[in-house]
């Protein structure tokens, strides 16, 4: 429990030090780290239509595509220099830009279903908005993680492997924290940490089912 209090306090200090940029889409993403729920509330107050949410999702998916490029290049150059890098880039672009949006809509629907089970009354649109905005806010972390991963892939060995695992864990915690806060605000839940816990439980359950069926 003390460690959780320290973690929450540390995040509060980080949030308090942000918010120094102006308005605009990209500054809003950076300023979101200074107040996750506040940024989500501002997004909800704008009340964008479905086309606006789709544009937000396309942006997030494109960032996911960009975040994979450094690792793809590092892997190809370090393990199979003769393999066509262009082919891998085209394939990844197709997967991310065509299939990931469908997956994101499905995840948003699942999060809405579980939110309703815990008493939420808002529409499915707010769940989509929370997930798509969380993906946009995660974009700097995705790019940073991708650049670091490419470096440690080149290093290889135990150090490279352990560091990659640590980066994946940090990114997973960031996803839980940011998406949990956005969903908590969108669904008007008081505790964002509990929402993050529910998200973790759902994702862990889905992962377990996939592993058992594999």
CA 62/CA 30 separation, integer angstroms: 18
Under the phi-then-psi rule, with left for phi > 0, alpha for psi from -120 to 50, and beta for the rest, what region is 22?
beta
Q: How high is the pLDDT of residue 52? A: 92
The answer to whether the predicted template modeling score (pTM) of the entire model surpasses 0.85 is no
Residues in the chain: 214
Q: How high is the pLDDT of residue 20? A: 42
Q: How high is the pLDDT of residue 15? A: 44
Contact 194, 120 (CB under 8 A): no
List, for residues 16-48, the tens digit of each pLDDT value.
444 444 457 888 999 999 999 999 999 999 998
Q: How high is the pLDDT of residue 22? A: 46
CA-wise closest residue to 105 among 172, 60, 47, 140: 60
CA 108/CA 193 separation, integer angstroms: 18
Low-confidence spans in the chain with pLDDT less than 70:
1-23, 74-84, 210-214
Sign of the torsion formed by the C-alpha atoms of 11, 16, 17 and 18: positive
Q: How high is the pLDDT of residue 18? A: 43
CA 214/CA 212 separation, integer angstroms: 6
Contacts of 88 (CB under 8 A, 6+ apart): 72, 76
Share of the chain residues as helix, strand and coil, in percent rounded to the nearest 5: 85, 0, 15
């Amino acid at each position: 429990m003390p460690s959780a209090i320290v973690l929450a306090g540390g995040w509060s200090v980080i949030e308090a030090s942000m918010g120094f940029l102006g308005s605009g889409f990209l500054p809003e993403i950076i300023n979101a780290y200074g107040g996750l729920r506040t940024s989500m509330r501002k997004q909800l107050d704008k009340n964008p239509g479905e086309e606006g949410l789709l544009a937000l999702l396309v942006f997030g998916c494109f960032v996911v595509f960009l975040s994979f490029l450094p690792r793809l290049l590092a892997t190809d150059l370090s393990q199979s220099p003769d393999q066509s890098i262009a082919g891998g880039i085209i394939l990844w672009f197709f997967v991310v830009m065509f299939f990931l949006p469908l997956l994101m809509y499905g995840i948003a629907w699942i999060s809405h279903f579980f939110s309703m089970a815990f008493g939420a009354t808002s529409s499915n649109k707010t769940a989509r908005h929370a997930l798509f905005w969380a993906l946009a806010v995660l974009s700097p972390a995705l790019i940073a993680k991708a650049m670091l991963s490419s470096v440690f892939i080149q290093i290889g060995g135990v150090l490279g492997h352990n560091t990659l695992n640590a980066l994946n864990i940090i990114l997973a915690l960031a996803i839980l924290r940011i998406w949990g806060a956005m969903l908590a605000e969108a669904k008007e839940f008081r505790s964002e940490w509990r929402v993050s816990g529910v998200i973790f439980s759902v994702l862990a359950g889905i992962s377990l089912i996939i592993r058992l069926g594999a």
